[in-house]
Structures are given as C-alpha cells and as structure tokens.
Amino acid sequence: MSFIVGEVDLGPYTLSQPRFYKELPRVPRRSSTGKVIFAEYFDNPQQNWFSNDFAAAGSPTPSTAGGAITERSFDRALYGQKASMHIINPDLVPATNPDMDCRLTFTHPSNIVGAEIWFTYNDIMRSTVGGQAVYLSVEEWDVAASTRYEGRADYRTNSKHWAYFHDSVTSNIFQNNVFYKAYDDTSANRSREMWNWVKVIVNRATHQWVSIETAEGLVPAASLPNGANLNQFTSDSSFGVLNEAWGIEFAISGGSAVPTSPFEAYYGGLVVTDES
C-alpha cells in the first residue's frame, strides 16, 4: 500500500534521521510523481547536512565563513512547517567562491531520482544587479570514469529567469520572464512572503536530464533548449568503488554581484523521490 504525502495525514511522529514518507505529517508536495525516498523539514538537529562551498569543505551546519551562514532556522518556514534551512551569502569576494550551499549524500539503487524543494529569498537578491541565483541540484557519480554529474536548476533572482546546467559547466535559460517576489519585497508589499517551488529529475544510467518542473510548467528533457546532458565534472573520485551514491544540494550562488548587504534564502519542504 502506498501513500502520497500531502494528500494523506499520517499523524505526528518524531524521528532522528531522514523521515520516510509513511511516518511524516503532511508535507506540501506539489508533484504527484515518484515514490518518496525521504523528506526533510529541517527541524531536527540530528539530521546532518553540511556545507561544501564557501565555508571550509565538509563543515557541518550551522556553518560560518566570512559572514556566510548555513543553519536551521525557526524564523521563517513554509506554510504549516516549523523550520527551514537558512543560507546567508555575503558574496564579498565572488572570484574566490560565489556559492554558499547545504548538501548531503545518500545511497539508493534507483537510476532515476528526483528532488523538489520550496524556497524564498530576500529583497537584496531581487534588486542587486547581477547573476545571483538560488538553485537545487541532484548529483550522481560515474566511479569508473572518476566523474561527477549534476542536474542543477537555477532561478536567477535579478534576471528573473530559470536556467539549467549541462555538459561542462554550461548554462542556458529554459524559462524566461519569471517574476517571483522576495519575502521582504520593497517593490510590491502585497507579494511578500512568497514561496516558490522547483523539481528536478535525473537519470544516472544515461547521465541525462529527465525533466525540470517549476510553477511555470514541466519541461521534459526533449524540450530543454541545449540538450539533455547533465553538467559534468571530471576528476571526482569521492566515492572510490561505490556506485550507488546520490547527492542533494541547494544553495545561493552569488554570481558576479557584490551586494550591499548579504544575500539570504530559506529552503523548506524537501522531498526526494524514486522516479524509476
């Protein structure tokens, strides 16, 4: 028997590790595809996430470096949730490393995995002229080739478009003129506290995109404007002989901008799914 989280209230439970969908209270899932592997509210300090960019590699949350912070927050949360993951990226020296991330890895036998997440960001990210973005990424590894593949979708908060990464760190727009608002937006008070959603699905067997979905609609691999190959990083032998690893990462990318005050974003309602 299976359940779709978000349509069935399975009652309040407290677990110390990634909470599997049959034991979750209501999760605000927007997508109905896939079998849930795990979901995350970010309200349990025993579930470890870490920062790999900007802060020292492998830093556990909360993580700080040069004013950058990745930490659980009870200040702002998605709808009925208690907490979110809060990322602060001052992006003072973009050339050093413009990203501030939050990530974990897990093993699963499925070759097709998806992840969906809700996010909101501050007005400085909206108003600062530059290529800054919030993004979600699903990663997988080809151990024999020492190569990491990434399905990464960016919402560029000032440019107001969605872009995806493919081949060798190449990005292209797949949805344009997407006008999301900041949680503290100064341009439209009625639109404050807006939460936005994205889902990415990738295929580990082919190292290709399956789809990217946003509130603007579903974009299957065949409709991506510059092909469906995943972003590729060579010389990554993180997992030795292990070939069942997946990575989930969400972050603020500072792009080329140097803001007058830090970029900030909150992430909540993460659901990771088996899409095979």
Q: pLDDT averaged over consecutive 10-residue blocks of the chain (276 residues)?
A: 35 38 51 86 79 55 60 84 87 62 91 96 94 95 87 97 95 97 90 94 96 96 97 79 85 85 93 95
Q: In angstroms, what CA-CA distances link 95 with 9, 76, 90, 190?
A: 47, 30, 13, 36
For residue 5, tell me if it sits in a domain: no
Per-residue pLDDT, 61: 55
Please say whether the beta carbons of 272 and 110 come within 8 A. Answer: no
Q: In which domain, by residue range, is 193 found?
A: 27-274
Q: What is the pTM of this model?
A: 0.84
For residue 201, tell me if it sits in a domain: yes
For residue 249, tell me if it sits in a domain: yes
pLDDT digits (tens, 9 = 90+) for 158-168: 999 999 999 98
For residue 3, tell me if it sits in a domain: no
> Can you tell me the distance from the alpha carbon of 206 to that of 222, in angstroms, rounded to the nearest whole number?
14
For residue 267, tell me if it sits in a domain: yes
**CATH code assigned at 77:** 2.60.120.200
Nearest by Cα to 53 from 67, 41, 68: 68
Please count the structural domains in the chain: 1
> Can you tell me the distance from the alpha carbon of 222 to that of 236, in angstroms, rounded to the nearest whole number?
28
Per-residue pLDDT, 58: 45
pLDDT digits (tens, 9 = 90+) for 40-80: 889 877 677 877 765 444 445 555 555 567 888 888 888 77
For residue 12, tell me if it sits in a domain: no
126 token code pair: 């909206």
For residue 19, tell me if it sits in a domain: no
For residue 248, tell me if it sits in a domain: yes
> Can you tell me the distance from the alpha carbon of 136 to that of 142, in angstroms, rounded to the nearest whole number?
20
